Chain A
Amino acid sequence: MSRDKIAAYADAVASIVEAEGQAERTADELFRVARAFESNDQLRTTLSDGTIPAERRQQVVEQLLGGRAQATTVQVVSFLVATSRVRDLPAIVDAVVQRVASGRDQHVAEVRSAIALTSEQEQRLAAALAKATGKTVDLKVVVDPSVLGGLVATVGDEVIDGTVRSRLDQLKTLI
């Protein structure tokens, strides 16, 4: 899908999220769904399989997210599945998250960690990133075992990589 279409969908979804209230929480849930969609091949294949009727795929979404996420989150994902735009779910959601954060004069800080962070760690990390980048950040933490250990934070174009994976990659390059 072209950038213009992604932007159009993102504008629409962001407007819905803002209109429904609790935009931050919804954006956070959408962010997690997007990351799960990226990392889970089976989920991605199932939701984007055109041979499966859209209603059946929407049922899968409701079964997965129902009771765990806000109704708005479920509806947005279900809407993208129904319109066969689910392949662009990560890009649309990232744009939505950016818009929601911008509306609050914040910058999205995507953090990947091998382990889940405590809320206290997230607060300290957000404060540290704000200090390091000079921006107010909206922290989005993704648990990603592939980083092995440590964290990698992406704020706009800035990437602060302290993962064991990157160290191993550097070591591999040196070898």
Chain B
Amino acid sequence: MTAHQSIQTDPNAKAEEILTGAEMVVRALVDQGVTDLFGYPGGAVLPIYDALFHEPRLHHVLVRHEQGATHAAEGYARSTGKPGVVLVTSGPGATNAVTGIVDALMDSIPLVVITGQVPTHLIGTDAFQECDTVGITRSCTKHNYLVKNVADLPHVMHEAFKIATSGRPGPVVIDIPKDVQFASGVYVGPDQARSRHSYAPRVDGEPRAIAQALGLIAEARRPILYTGGGVINAGPAASGALRALAALTGAPVTSTLMGLGAFPADDPQWLGMVGMHGAFEANHAMHDCDVMVAIGARFDDRVTGRLDAFSPGSRKIHIDIDPSSIGKIVRADVGVLGDAGRVLSALVEGWKSLRPAPTRERLADWWRQIDAWRGRDCFAYRPSSSVIKPQYAIERLYELTRHRDTYITTEVGQHQMWAAQYYRFQEPGRWMTSGGLGTMGYGLPAAVGVQVAHPKSLVIDIAGDASVQMTMQEMSTAIQYDLPIKIFILNNEWMGMVRQWQQLLHGERYSHSYSASMPDFVKMAEAFGALGLRAENPADLDDLIIEMIDAPTPVIFDCRVERAENCFPMIPSGKAHNDMLLGEDTGDIGAVIDAAGRRLV
């Protein structure tokens, strides 16, 4: 779609529709196809809440903290492909929402966040609950607006949805002063809305670049497809095209944390996740490949490890919808600007007409090498019959939920990495995690959002005991709206990843990473009106997980796990992909990381 399409006067047009600003907001949401939104009322958004009161087509979910609203909207967006909508008040309402807004920016999640603002004549006077919302959110949104004139409001509302959802998706904030919500003006629908900006992201890859990419892939002897969240964002068709391209080219596939599920974990060409806690075979294949095809991935430092030793012998094809992503970290030999789905489809079509020599023989040595790496069995761990190993807990959770309609969210830390390693995702949009920002407290409210979008599905937040306490109050939201989310806490009483780093990098000085007063999660569940379950013995785990799944209510599951378990394999900071540590190397890890590596995060 082009940004400026000429607007023709419709002879059958109805008379101008006069609405208040607040009514325009609600009407624009309906016209944009919004059915659910997440919010918290306050003085500066009361007119909009009043308009919501009269609008049965919008289902508003009242959260307990505005951060919860933004994460819920993110979970909603990631699991549906639709934009998430948030409505909060001025001042603290807006500032509380900031963490979720940054999270959405980092992970390219489409959000439209509507914030109330003090009346225009009070802006700049340090009025009650005033803050410079557009100033605060300018650097953490894809775009933001302060609407000072009600005549601009419908145009801004519709443009915000376009900006949030097209190109590289992201959060858009619309700050609306209270007097503008009360003022009356002419409403226009999405079709008549004027776009003030020349915003028009490019979605189709340049044919010449696609031909170059095909040429490289066709000649590769050690190719790899490295996919990211962009493939998920591009919709289910992109995952389909990825699977087709992998089948045609015979190339192994790895993915970032954000891209899990785009390619089925059960497929023999799947190598597992890449990066710091990725699979041994995936990281080695990235290091040794001769052609790397990065699709909707951004060479994050958690993926590349040491940059000057990152995949030194490969030519790199980088497919991305964001021009600033291509060449930002790693120089691309071929950059293809476009939507991951469209470019992948073009590659599939191009491959079919190119008819390159059969791949099986050309890649035989490569697959032999990969099988050798797989032989290291990097996710092996010492089983136990007396304590629940966290890896075992995730394996059991996967086995007992795999044949159901399941969505997984996580918090951030060790449990998140174990979830990524041991839960095997087969479909896109089933995995919601805070990748870029690494926001502890993301998973519980995100699960609320996912469950709102998929009321009949099984929604599980794989949580840590520390993270989950950051946004625990959203359990109350889950109860209020009968959202039977399952909070599966791998409880080791530590901030596990912090503890792991302190053990490995800071001489086992466990500075403030132990939670000495852990709440009783079972009683906490009961206090909220949810079901509380506790597992302490591996023998009981399956039955309790089944009880959790079958419960019609929200559940907090306190899974007591091995307290000192570390997350492996691991690329120590400052090291290259082929310098991975496996579980058995634990003893000398402190010696492996040099001073320079220790300074990295």
Are A and B physically bound partners? Answer: no
**Interface residues in chain B, defined as those with a beta carbon under 8 Å from any beta carbon in chain A:** none
Question: Which residues of A approach B to under 8 Å, CB–CB?
Answer: none
